[in-house]
């Protein structure tokens, strides 16, 4: 693996000296925050980036400056994708499949966080349906376009520590709804999806990893009031102090997107395959509630990953 990076590394630092000319990448959620920065950084190194966005008009405005950074044949194109609607997900996949051009890397970056209780167009709980099931259908439908030796990067979060998945009640039909419990379930699902996708595709050299970008001030937190954000930071700091860790600090957007590009293009494939990454390194298993670093064992459990895959196929009515 080239270079040693950490929590403060940026996308440009991680990709320094990397030539991505001719590489084709799909990035979901490319109309704000981490998605825009990921697209910008990759296009600046010559990659042809397809950004999937819910609102094409907003997306065009958001990536205008990123396009100015494109170099060495790099480019950014947009396609429409609403992860909260399986009709939209399937239409997006159909369009890309009809185009037929392969991808070197798919980065499932889009998501929602801690939103009020609601349902997707298909009746799924909003966070599980958008963050997991939408990507589950999209990425699996596009798997034939993922080149042998390619990679899939699934954005999870330290928020996976809030909750394991609940395969008996994924839509909170019997469980009292809590915003962060729902978010935790969806982020655990993002990690488990990568585990099972990696197992199913590694024979052809395709590897999958999940990543935690860090705490970043982006549109993802739009449902959180400043008071709730401060309460979350205070809670993290209390746990960190109890465990002898460092105080919480926000990352910049280029720092937050760094782990995605590191896992997708820089890290050794066998090192990150089937693993959970943070701060540009593979995270250690950590079941200590007083520690913020690392990954809970349940988020990498292969049996849970297989069970989630089967439940997801049942929910979306499609087998992969």
pTM of the model: 0.91
Of residues 156, 157, 163, 186, which has the active-site annotation?
Answer: 156
Residue 119 annotated as catalytic = no
Residues 274, 208 contacting (CB under 8 angstroms): yes
276 in active site: no
Distance between CA atoms of 213 and 202, rounded to whole angstroms?
24
Domain ranges of the chain: 11-221+251-312
Please write the tens of the pLDDT for every residue from 153-188.
999 999 999 999 999 999 999 999 999 999 999 999
Helix (H) or strand (E) holding 67: helix 64-68
Q: Which two tokens stand for residue 311?
A: 């439940």
pLDDT tens-digit map of 287-301: 988 777 899 999 999
Q: Which of 9, 31, 44, 187 is catalytic?
A: 187
> What residue ranges in the chain does DSSP mark as E strands?
24-28, 48-53, 75-80, 103-108, 146-155, 207-212, 276-278, 281-282
pLDDT at 229 over 70: no
* Catalytic option among 85, 88, 183, 260: 183
Q: pLDDT tens-digit profile of 87-112?
A: 999 999 999 999 999 999 999 999 99
Residue 238's pLDDT band (cuts 50, 70, 90): low
Domain at 11-221+251-312: CATH code: 3.40.50.720
Instruction: Count how many Cα atoms sit within 13 Å of the Cα of residue 156 in the half-sphere of its side chain.
Output: 38
| pLDDT score of 222 | 55
């Amino acid at each position: 693996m080239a270079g040693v990076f950490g929590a403060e590394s940026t996308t440009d630092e991680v990709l320094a000296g990397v030539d991505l000319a001719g590489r084709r990448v799909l990035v979901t959620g490319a109309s704000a925050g981490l998605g825009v920065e990921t697209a910008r950084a990759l296009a600046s190194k010559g990659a042809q980036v397809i950004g999937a966005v819910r609102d094409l008009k907003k997306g065009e405005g958001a990536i205008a400056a990123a396009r100015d950074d494109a170099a060495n044949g790099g480019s950014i194109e947009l396609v429409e994708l609403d992860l909260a609607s399986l009709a939209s997900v399937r239409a997006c996949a159909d369009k890309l499949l009809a185009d037929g051009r392969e991808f070197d890397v798919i980065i499932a970056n889009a998501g929602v966080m801690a939103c009020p209780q609601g349902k997707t167009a298909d009746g799924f709980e909003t966070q599980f349906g958008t963050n997991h099931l939408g990507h589950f259908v999209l990425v699996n439908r596009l798997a034939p376009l993922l080149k042998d030796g390619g990679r899939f990067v699934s954005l999870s979060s330290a928020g996976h520590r809030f909750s394991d998945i609940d395969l008996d009640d994924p839509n909170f039909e019997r469980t009292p709804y809590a915003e962060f419990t729902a978010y935790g379930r969806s982020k655990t699902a993002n990690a488990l999806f990568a585990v099972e996708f990696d197992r199913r595709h590694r024979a052809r050299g395709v590897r999958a990893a999940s990543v935690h970008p860090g705490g970043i001030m982006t549109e993802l937190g739009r449902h959180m009031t400043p008071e709730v954000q401060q309460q979350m930071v205070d809670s993290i700091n209390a746990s960190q102090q109890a465990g002898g860790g460092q105080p919480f600090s926000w990352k910049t957007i280029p720092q937050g997107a760094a782990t995605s590009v590191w896992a997708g293009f820089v890290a050794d494939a066998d090192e990150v395959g089937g693993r959970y990454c943070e701060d540009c390194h593979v995270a250690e298993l950590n079941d200590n509630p007083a520690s913020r670093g690392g990954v809970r064992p349940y988020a990498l459990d292969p049996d849970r990953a297989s069970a989630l895959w089967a439940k997801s196929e049942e929910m979306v009515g499609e087998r992969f």
